[in-house]
């Protein structure tokens, strides 16, 4: 473990959208809302609950605004983002420009939503259990472990029939599960149609050295090849539990989520002992 105790800044992914995202952006990132509308083609905040095409850019903007509200009070030594939050973290660390980050999340959301619609009846299932408890059922029913979020939460992706069969089996074994309100099997092979055009877009993006290490959800290590890892992330599992463990091994003892929401704060509390996890904006500390 690293000797120096550090702050890890966390940027959320889809599922963290809140009703006050627009207010957060207007207050701390004036002008970003209008640029997001121009880039996306419509108001992403107005439609953030209608699909990932709108949710991703809205969450990206709100998370950047959250970071802006905390910037003068924090000196993070590490950063990480959950799924689309990787892009937000890379922007915050100066590896990507804000304009490129906005273009990337807008394209990512549009491409992933399109891939989900073309794949047909697919989706995601959140299971209260560990990877060792859930992995065999996923394999039997042709599903992919899309998110390893904590010792208590795994998210599966795949066909609706496979998700239904897995849910029934897991219920019999005493594990609770819930279908997520998403329009696709994200972080699975079903997203392959989105990966290729996203990779092409990444090829034209300028990448700089980040100001602090930013961890990839593909490798659970600091980004080595930003373009390649972001392209891989479209179809690869989100190894969030491994990311948190890596942050801890690198010396992080305080975890601050930029918002919107506090989903990642809860995951830290469930996954790591002896650290502080703080909710966004208000920064109310809680000892894990």
pLDDT at 81 over 60: yes
pLDDT of residue 15: 87
Q: Do domains 6-118+188-287 and 119-179 have the same CATH topology?
A: no
Rounded CA separation 150/49 (Å): 25
pLDDT tens string 259-271: 898 999 999 999 9
Q: At 283, is the pLDDT very low, low, confident or very high (cuts 50, 70, 90)?
A: very low
Instruction: Decide which of 3.40.50.300, 1.10.1060.10, 3.30.70.250, 3.30.360.10 is the CATH code for 119-179.
Output: 3.30.70.250
Q: Domain 6-118+188-287: give its CATH architecture.
A: 3-Layer(aba) Sandwich (3.40)
Closest among 263, 267, 259 to 283, alpha carbons compared: 259
pLDDT tens string 185-200: 999 999 999 999 999 9
The whole-model pTM stands at 0.94
Q: Where are the domains of the chain?
A: 6-118+188-287, 119-179
pLDDT of residue 279: 74
pLDDT tens string 23-35: 999 999 999 999 9
Just list the catalytic residues. Answer: 83, 187
Among positive and negative, which fits the CA dihedral 68, 72, 73, 76? positive
Contact 82, 10 (CB under 8 A): yes
Q: 59: how many CB neighbours lie within 10 A of its CB?
A: 32
pLDDT tens string 221-272: 999 999 999 999 999 999 999 999 999 999 999 999 998 989 999 999 999 9
pLDDT at 49 over 50: yes
């Amino acid at each position: 473990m690293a000797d120096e105790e550090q702050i890890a800044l966390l940027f959320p992914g889809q599922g963290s959208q809140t009703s006050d995202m627009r207010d957060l952006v207007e207050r701390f990132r004036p002008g970003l809302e209008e640029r997001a509308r121009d880039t996306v083609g419509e108001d992403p905040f107005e439609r953030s609950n209608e699909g990932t095409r709108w949710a991703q850019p809205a969450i990206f903007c709100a998370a950047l605004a959250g970071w802006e509200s905390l910037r003068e009070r924090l000196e993070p030594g590490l950063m990480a983002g959950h799924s689309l939050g990787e892009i937000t973290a890379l922007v915050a660390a100066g590896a990507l420009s804000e304009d490129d980050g906005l273009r990337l999340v807008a394209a990512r959301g549009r491409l992933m939503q399109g891939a989900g619609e073309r794949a047909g009846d697919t989706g995601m299932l959140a299971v209260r259990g560990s990877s060792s408890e859930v992995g065999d059922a996923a394999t039997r029913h042709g599903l992919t472990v899309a998110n390893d979020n904590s010792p208590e939460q795994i998210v599966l992706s795949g066909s609706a029939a496979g998700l239904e069969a897995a849910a029934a089996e897991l219920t019999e074994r005493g594990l609770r599960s819930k279908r997520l309100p998403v329009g696709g099997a994200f972080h699975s092979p079903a997203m392959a149609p989105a990966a290729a055009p996203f990779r092409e877009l990444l090829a034209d993006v300028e990448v700089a050295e980040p100001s602090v290490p930013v961890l990839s959800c593909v490798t659970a290590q600091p980004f080595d090849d930003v373009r390649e890892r972001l392209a891989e992330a479209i179809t690869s599992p989100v190894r969030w539990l491994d990311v948190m463990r890596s942050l801890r091994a690198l010396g992080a003892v305080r975890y601050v989520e930029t918002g919107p929401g506090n989903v990642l704060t809860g995951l830290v509390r469930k996954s790591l002992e002896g650290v502080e996890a703080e909710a966004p904006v208000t920064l109310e500390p809680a000892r894990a």
